[in-house]
Structures are given as structure tokens and as C-alpha cells.
Amino acid sequence: MAESVQDIYIAGLRNAHALEVQAMQLLERQVERIDSYPEMLGRMKQHIEESRTQSQRLEQILDRLGSSNSTLKDLGTGLMGNLAAMAHVPMQDEILKNTFANYAFEHFEIASYRGLLEMAKAAGDQAGVPLLEQSLQEEVQMAEWIGQNLPATVQKYIALETSGQKSGI
């Protein structure tokens, strides 16, 4: 059965919404544990709010197209976000593993939004393009922030670890 461009686009929007739910769960679990990295804590809290707004933008597009997000996908990916965040908890270098994973996750979101932009154009959804572009820009900014701060995070981890202070998170 051949799907229409609109069907493909709606599936992509639902997937992106579920991805934002996963991002929020992942970051919210990490934020609960960060003590030694206040600059990271602040930026992650900001990105949680950006992710909420991105989720709302996706809901707005879906609503305009006569559809909605997939509760099942949202629940599943939200659970995956919680589990992924907890996977690094027992690790001594939890902050580093979370930083590396977050950097990769942001690039996955960037690719998702770039794909959605192509789908929006193919589906003729000119109204959705600026909303998706705004979300893409926020994801690019977060990925750039993580990348730029990665050396400082590693250096701080090393300094805390070698001085016997709490370093993992």
C-alpha cells in the first residue's frame, strides 16, 4: 500500500514529537543529579524548556493537518529516555557519558528536523516550515554548546577526580 506524502510527513511529525518527549525525560533525569557542573545545569534546564516549546510546535502542525501526536510512541520513547538517563548513573564518569550521549542525541534531533523540513516542503506545508526551522536552529545551538563546552567538562571532571572531589555528576 503506497503512502501519500502527507501520511509520511504526519508519521515524521509524530516521531519527532516522541523524540522531544524522550529528550525531555532524558534531560530531566540528568538535571536531578547535576551538582558540580552549574553551567551545564543551567543550559540543560533551558533546553528542557526549548524541547517543550518544540513539542508544542509539532502539536500545532499536527493539529493544523487534522492529526495528533501518538500517545503510544510518546510513552515508549519517554520510558526509553528515562532508562537511558539511568544507564549512566552507576558509572564513575557519569557526567562524561551523559555529555557524549547528549551530543550524539542532539545531532540525531538535527537530522530529524532536517528530514522533516524536506517532508514539509514535499507535502506543501509552507506554514510548518518556519516552525520546524526554529526547532532545528535550537537543536543546532544546543549541539554547538555541548561541543564547545565538552573540553571544559572533561577538564573539570579530571580536576575534580584527581583532587578527590565529587566528579561524576
Residue 69: which region, alpha, beta or left (left: phi > 0; alpha: psi -120 to 50)? Answer: beta
Instruction: Say which range, 50-59, 77-86, 117-126, 153-162, has the weakest mean pLDDT.
Output: 77-86
Residue 81's pLDDT is 47
Instruction: Say which range, 18-27, 75-84, 114-123, has the weakest mean pLDDT.
Output: 75-84
Assign 148 to helix, strand or coil.
helix
| CA–CA gap between residue 101 and residue 62 (Å, rounded) | 29
DSSP secondary structure of 105-141:
HHHHHHHHHHHHHHHHHHHT-TTHHHHHHHHHHHHHH
Which domains are seen in the chain, by residue range?
Answer: 5-162 (1.20.1260.10)
pLDDT category at 68 given cuts 50, 70, 90 is confident
| CA–CA gap between residue 144 and residue 158 (Å, rounded) | 22
pLDDT category at 95 given cuts 50, 70, 90 is very high
In the structure, how many helices (H) and strands (E) does the chain have? 5, 0
Q: Does residue 29 register a pLDDT over 80?
A: yes
Q: What is the CB neighbour count within 10 angstroms for residue 127?
A: 12
For helices 128-162 and 38-64, angle between their N-to-C axes, nearest 10 degrees: 160
**Which three cell numbers mark 21?**
518527549
